[in-house]
Structure 1
């Protein structure tokens, strides 16, 4: 590292009176990377730089614990190993896979299918390599685009997720502010090393700087720089809790898709009785509730609702 880079490292965050990064930032970076490379959780998507495989892992991980994602990720790639395979698939089959594996909102499966089609038809089978280009793919927002750019092409900015925010807040007193977290995360990351760095700092938050910290137990490499470790104050920004899946709107969306896969089409009352035992046409969970659910799924391009007859008919979009 040059003297100029070292000076810039030392000054990182210095203009903000509320927080500052270590004076010996190069040493802190080295310690974290060495800690990560010595031992980390062995998720299979960490062993590839294939952008398609990484995109699938990122989309699946949005609402699912990582340990549960592994089996679904491997099964998905066994069935559709390339973007060409996924683009050629029946979208209903892709959505059905999502439902069967309880992977969250089914529109993510639709968007993944459409993104694969874009890669094949608009990019000749080759992914864009930078975050801006990746955001042109259907359903790929700033976080996912940056993650794919980082892990597939080593060309991303710092990833800022809940784990990274918690680390920055505790270790360097970065305030609970998205702009501050973004600045701190990018100041921390060594240039040109987004792949290893983003994996390493997310691992730190995932196994060491957890909601109940495990600093000594897992040998956190940042103990000598960490304000929380020195003060004993391990408060952290509020972490949003994911709503319970059981009884949720998300669960019933999945049941609608799963039921419509079994039948070519269903009248609304027949569908309602199949997705919940307390369905009553005129009740709290009746036609009005179910039509609202179907309209959401229709907006996502997953179902069609035919209202031309006496009773609405629902069917999967193809």
Structure 2
């Protein structure tokens, strides 16, 4: 492990961590229209709409808004009351966001000759554009941003790499992990990870989370996080059993299935429902994730932690 921000540790092989996440994202991810464009105006509209609004509702409104006001020039020339009326009719949150978006379009036209600034600092000068939104536009439109750190990203970093619940630590770790010059794909990928695989109730195996090999929460079974103060449905879960396997093998060089079984669940019976077949499936999953080696020896199956 290599020291990162604050007291957390990041994996030594950060290149492998980066490659795994980007490959996972590029292989399959949710399709949103704002991920199919690098137009800063369209991305700004999506970011402002997405503030505390369900993405399913945002998607329909996004298309309708851009059909009506397709450019900053069109929005800047619009009647503000019409823009606010659209916002309210589509339940997009506080109406002042519509007002700020309208004023930001006027700034782009009057102060920047219709061309968006490309860096987070200058983008923050636009009305209603805070540091997070400025960085998102810089990242997704110009590939020129820092690492995005939202609630989902904090949850991922806290669970995966035991990053302390501290804003400065999260920001430092996120920027250390992000590949240079790749803010567009990286920020999309890590937010997808938090939104799909590492939600408040995680779905690590179901979504094929690419960080299971390194993830502290996955190995220990503790999926608490800053926004998840208690472990959801952990007692008796498969995650709990996986954690017990890892803990037991950490104490012993290796264990046969029948030696390991009672350490994982008290109702282990070799030939029963909670027996060798069930346990073999569990350790095979851990082997597929690169955590455990499973070998056959003298008619017995032996498990040990992978070095």
| TM-score under structure 1 length normalisation | 0.71
Deviation at 1:238, TM superposition (A): 2.4
Counterpart secondary structure, 1:185: helix
1:222 is aligned, of 189, 195, 211, to: 211
Q: 1 CA distance for matches of 2:111 and 2:225? A: 43
Aligned counterpart, 2:154: 165
Q: Does 1:74 align with 2:79?
A: no
1:68 to partner: Cα distance: 1.2
1:31 to 5, 9, 20: 20
> Is residue 47 of structure 1 aligned with residue 33 of structure 2?
no
TM-score (norm 2): 0.73
Post-superposition offset of 1:12:
5.0
Matches within 5 A, 1:1-318: 11=2, 13=4, 16=6, 18-238=7-227
Q: Which has the higher contact order (CA 8 A, sep 6+)?
A: 1
What is the aligned residue count?
229
| CA distance in structure 1 between the partners assigned to 2:162 and 2:228 by the alignment | 17
Q: Note closer, same or farther for the CA distance 1:47–1:29 as it changes in structure 2 (3 Å cut).
A: same
Residues of 2 paired with 1:239 and 1:205: CA distance?
13
Residue of structure 2 in register with 1:261 after alignment: none
Query: Could you list the runs of 4 or more consecutive aligned residues of structure 1 that deviate by over 2 angstroms after TM superposition?
Result: none
- Cα shift readout 1:143-173 (whole Å, capped 9, x = no counterpart): 0000000000000000000110000000000
| Gaps in structure 1 of 5+ consecutive residues | 1-9, 241-318
Q: List per-residue Cα deviations over 1:243-298 (Å, max 9, x = no partner).
A: xxxxxxxxxxxxxxxxxxxxxxxxxxxxxxxxxxxxxxxxxxxxxxxxxxxxxxxx
Distance (whole Å) between structure 1 residues aligned to residue 166 and residue 37 of structure 2: 33
Within 2, Cα distance between the matches of 1:174 and 1:58? 26
> Is the contact between residue 162 and residue 239 of structure 1 (CA under 8 Å) also seen in structure 2?
no
Do the aligned partners of 1:12 and 1:187 also contact (CA within 8 Å) in 2? no
Q: Measure, in 2, the Cα distance between the counterparts of 1:190 and 1:11.
A: 16
Q: CA RMSD in A?
A: 1.2
